[in-house]
Amino acid sequence: MTQQTETAAAVTNRVSVIREHERENLWFLGDLIQPIITSQMTQGRFMMALTHAKAGSEPPLHEHDAEDEIFYILEGRIRFWAADTQVTLGPGDCILMPRDVPHIFQVVPELEAKWLVMTAPGGLEDFFRAVSIPAEYAGPQRGWKMDEETEQRLEAACEKFGITLIAPPGARPDALPDGGA
């Protein structure tokens, strides 16, 4: 094998095709998460997952120590708060949430939403797996409420993966003593 052929073979071996029916289905805080491009596929450089969230879905106010997050909205409308920025985004809109910036988002109460979440470097899918349970169907978990077991998994995973929980859902970064900066 020539050097050029070996190089082409190495690049070809890293190509991944992910069909919709092959995706892993996880319920993360009641929302469906489907890892699509995993850190394993990108040698840790990048991760991408599809999220399908129920109307009104909102995580706790938090910040990431290790990764930047990019949200690309496919369906619905989502309000984002990051440091001193507040914006509502819809289909085709995108937002970058840099590491070490407190942020939170809320799906508008009237509609479900779908978005792609991408991180660099990768690894966030391992956090999702540590908190989630396998989804029984491809959609938000009907009737989901936070329980003690989920809260314990969330807190343990946050500690393990360098995500700081700052305040419960409903808190906004601009209400922090330093204004979320």
pLDDT digits (tens, 9 = 90+) for 104-148: 999 999 999 999 999 999 999 999 999 999 999 999 999 999 999
- For residue 43, being part of any structural domain is answered with yes
| CATH code where residue 132 lies | 2.60.120.10
- For residue 15, being part of any structural domain is answered with no
- For residue 72, being part of any structural domain is answered with yes
- For residue 5, being part of any structural domain is answered with no
Cis peptide before 60 (omega within 30 of 0): no
Q: pLDDT tens, 22-53? A: 999 999 999 999 999 999 999 999 999 999 99
Q: How many domains does the chain have?
A: 1
Reading the block at residue 127, the tokens are 């956090």
The average confidence (pLDDT) of the chain is: 91
The DSSP letter of residue 157 is: H
- For residue 6, being part of any structural domain is answered with no
- For residue 145, being part of any structural domain is answered with yes
- For residue 93, being part of any structural domain is answered with yes
Contacts of 140 (CB under 8 A, 6+ apart): 27, 30, 31, 32, 52, 53, 54, 57, 112
